[in-house]
Each structure stands twice: as structure tokens, then as C-alpha cells.
Copies of this chain bind each other. A is one copy, B any other.
Amino acid sequence: MNEVAKSSPSSETSLRRLAPDDLDVLENLLSFYMRAVTHTLSRDLDARLAGLEVAKGTGKITALLLIDSHPGIRASAISEATLRDRPSMSRLLTHLEAVGLIEQRVEPGERRARGLYITARGHAVSQEVRKITRAQSTEFFAVLDEDDQSHLMRITRKLYHHIREGLA
């Protein structure tokens, strides 16, 4: 068992380093490119956010920005918008509250839910985050010309909205 399957040999050099366009197997694998690029995008963003107490966060900054712009928003609305599950969001919000960026208030008339509110410091951090993400959008996607950038935005938004409709 564990015999090695026969297949045609590869060139010697390609074994050491794959040429960027020697990914023929993956050529039609859109998901591969999406994931590889997004992975780098996230790491880049993390690096830019380093030290900002919302770093390392995929969902942290989205939560913060949404709370900043939608005072009183519910946790479930955020987890839905970010396509994450609720338990993760719950812990994440607990953390954000612990570091003093947001507040959770039980709303009168709906005591199950908690309204989320930004604190003064949270608001300041939000603005910093916005500045950073704007800079990243500009720089990370700088290789793309205007048209490609707007294409990408339009297409990913379309996918995003379609996903959310599917979940509704």
C-alpha cells in the first residue's frame, strides 16, 4: 500500500519554486485565488492595526465601526452582517466592552436584547480604524487600475448581498 502513483515528471526547477503562472492545476480555481489574496489582505490589515487593541480582529473592527455608526445596534445584527455566528460575536463584544470601547445597555421594553453604544474612546479608535482601512484599500489594491477596483468592489458586494439574501 501507499504506492506512489505514476505521473509525468515535472521540470527540475519547478520543484524548487513554482513560477507564478505554473499553477495550471489551479487555473480555474477561483476559490484558491480568493482565499490566498484575502489571507494576505487580512495579515496586512492586522499589521496596520497593530497596537490598536482591535488588532488581530477580523470582526472586531467591523463591529466597532457598525456600533459607531448605528448606536443601539443589536449584537445579532452585527453577527448577521459579518456573516459570523453569534457566540463568537458575543465574546468579541464582551472583549470590546472590557477594554472600554463600547457599552452594552439593556434596553427598556426589550430586556432580552442589549443595545450597543460606542464610548468616547471607542469613537476615537473608530476614526483611527477608518483612516487605516482607507489607506489600506488604496495601497493594497493599488496594482489595480480604477476600473478593476470598481469591478472588484461591485462584484464582491454582489456576492455579499446574495449570500445575505440566502441566509434570510
| Cβ-based interface call for A90 (8 A) | no
The complex places the Cα of A37 from the Cα of B9 at a distance, in Å, of: 37
Whether B165 pairs with A20 at a CB distance below 8 angstroms is yes
Number of this chain's copies in the assembly equals 2
A56 adjacent to chain B (CB < 8 Å): no
A106 CB–B CB distance under 8 Å: no
Main secondary structure of the interface of A (DSSP, over half): helix
- In whole angstroms, how far apart are the Cα atoms of A152 and B42 in the complex? 19
Given contacts A4-B119, A18-B70, contact A159 B133 (CB under 8 A): no
> Which partner residue on chain B sits nearest A119 by CB separation?
B2
Contact across chains for B137 and A29 when beta carbons are under 8 A apart: yes
Which residues on B sit within 8 Å (CB–CB) of A69?
7, 10, 24-25
Other-chain contact of A9, B26, B41, B71, B136 (Cβ < 8 Å): B71
With A and B bound together, what is the CA distance between A141 and B18 in angstroms? 28
**Nearest B-chain residue to A100, judged by Cβ:** B2
Contact A23:B137 (CB < 8 A) given known A32-B62, A41-B34, A144-B159: no
A38 contacts B by Cβ under 8 Å: yes
Inter-chain CA distance A153–B8, complex, in Å, is 28
Mask, A151-168, CB within 8 Å of B = 1, is: 111011111111111000
Nearest Cβ on chain B to A69's Cβ, whole angstroms: 4
